[in-house]
Amino acid sequence: MNPIRLAGFASLALAASCSDAAGPGQHGTDLDAARQRWRVQDLHAYAFTLQRSCFCVNTRPLFVVVLSDTVAGVLDLQSGESLDRQFGETVDGLFTFIQNAIDRPAEKIRVTYDPMKGFPTEIDYDGAAQIADDEIFFRITDVHPISPQLPAPPP
């Protein structure tokens, strides 16, 4: 066999035998650690900016308000328009999305977590390489606790 071809096959075999440092086990470990950092904060009322990049309806930055662990409101930051709550997401919902991608497993799931607070700051997902337009990228910024305003008691 030609030495160049032999070197090519050896390189291919070596590349195929390498394990992915961010394989399913590592993703699960990172997710568990991030989830724990998030839970320690005990936040049930918070707001953040969420932006999706995908083949979907709304890809503009959204201001999401979460009260009692449920999306309470979504505002399109460019138009100022209030949107249906289905366009929002909770941090726990994003963790569930990541867990589901790991469990399937997705073709690609890359996640960056905030080192102090644990919430995902970026999620890069591709469910299957053969399916067009199932890719989605989330960017999560400005996560902060809020104090919900209670209505004033009647006079």
For 41-91, what is each residue's pLDDT tens digit? 999 999 999 998 876 667 799 999 999 999 999 999 999 999 999 999 999
Q: Is residue 21 domain-resident? A: no
Q: Is residue 13 domain-resident? A: no
> pLDDT-derived band of residue 152, with 50, 70 and 90 as boundaries?
low
Q: Is residue 130 domain-resident? A: yes
Q: Which pLDDT score, from 0 to 100, does residue 121 have?
A: 97
For 96-132, how does the pLDDT look when each residue is reduced to its tens digit (9 = 90+)? 999 999 998 888 999 999 999 999 999 998 877 766 6
Q: Is residue 120 domain-resident? A: yes
For 81-100, how does the pLDDT look when each residue is reduced to its tens digit (9 = 90+)? 999 999 999 999 999 999 99
Q: Is residue 62 domain-resident? A: yes
Of 20 and 45, the structure prediction assigns the larger pLDDT to 45
Q: Is residue 36 domain-resident? A: no
Domain coverage including residue 87: 44-145
Between CA 41 and CA 121 the distance in angstroms is 16
Q: Which pLDDT score, from 0 to 100, does residue 40 have?
A: 96
Between CA 83 and CA 75 the distance in angstroms is 6
Q: What's the total number of domains in the chain? A: 1
Please state whether the peptide bond connecting residue 24 to the residue before it is cis, i.e. omega within 30 degrees of 0. no
The angle that helices 24-41 and 91-103 make with each other, rounded to 10 degrees, is 160
Q: Is residue 19 domain-resident? A: no
Instruction: List the beta bridge partners of residue 124.
Output: 110, 137
CB 102 within 8 A of CB 128: no
Between CA 81 and CA 79 the distance in angstroms is 5
Neighbours of 58 (CB within 10 A): 16
Q: Is residue 25 domain-resident? A: no
